[in-house]
Amino acid sequence: RRTRSGPTLNFKAVLLGEGCVGKTSLVLRYMEDRFNAQHLSTLQASFVTRKVALEDGRRAQLNIWDTAGQERFHALGPIYYRGSDGALLVYDITDQDSFQKVKSWVRELRQMRGTEIALIIVGNKTDLEEHRAVAYEEALQYARTVGAQYVETSAKENEGVAELFELLTHLMLEQL
């Protein structure tokens, strides 16, 4: 499942979540420190890779799979997340439906992959706090009950994004 080439560890992580929650924006912020107010789903490559230096001196290659918008057609299946070490389950904190969608992804991933996949639930768009529809505590409690981590981010304001990907790398390392 996991390939090693020399001292570099290879990890695969997938982004899941409803359309428009900010999955591609999180990747764009992390990879290029940019933000685009336009919808990005069809513009971006669906696979990006970044090398990260680990604390112990080893190097890891983080391979992140973004969707090309197929989530709109409910067309993301096991092939997409097969072999992944981690998943970022993203919702928009102003959109209750997108949080429900995360719950259905959690059920599917736990059923298909058990605990061999690290799950991080991501509440994105914290810059829109005044329109918040899902309480922080509710999301945190839910994450705990399913053995997932919970973080909040704003791809727009660049809040929590670097920390999110650091946590992801850390969790995937722990699973080795």
Q: For 56-102, give the DSSP string.
A: TS-EEEEEEE--SSGGGGT---HHHHTT-SEEEEEEETT-HHHHHHH
Contacts 24+ apart (CB under 8 A), 169-175: 169/11, 169/52, 169/54, 169/60, 169/62, 171/86, 171/118, 171/120, 172/11, 172/13, 172/85, 172/86, 172/118, 173/9, 173/54, 173/60, 174/118, 175/85, 175/116, 175/118
Is residue 16 within the footprint of ligand GDP (CB under 6 A)? Answer: no
Nearer to Mg ion, 9 or 156 (CB): 156
By CB under 6 A, the residues from 30 to 89 that bind ligand GDP are 36-41
Least spacing, CB of residue 133 vs ligand GDP, in Å: 14
With CB under 5 to 8 Å by kind, the binding choice for 72 among ligand GDP, Mg ion, none is: none
Least spacing, CB of residue 98 vs ligand GDP, in Å: 9
Contact 10, 2 (CB under 8 A): yes
CA 119 to chain centre: 8
Is residue 12 within the footprint of ligand GDP (CB under 6 A)? Answer: no
Least spacing, CB of residue 138 vs Mg ion, in Å: 25
Nearer to ligand GDP, 37 or 53 (CB): 37
Size of the site for ligand GDP (CB under 6 A): 21
Nearer to ligand GDP, 12 or 156 (CB): 156
Site string for ligand GDP, 111-130 (x = CB under 6 A): -------------xx-xx--
Binding site for Mg ion (CB under 5 A): 23-24, 41
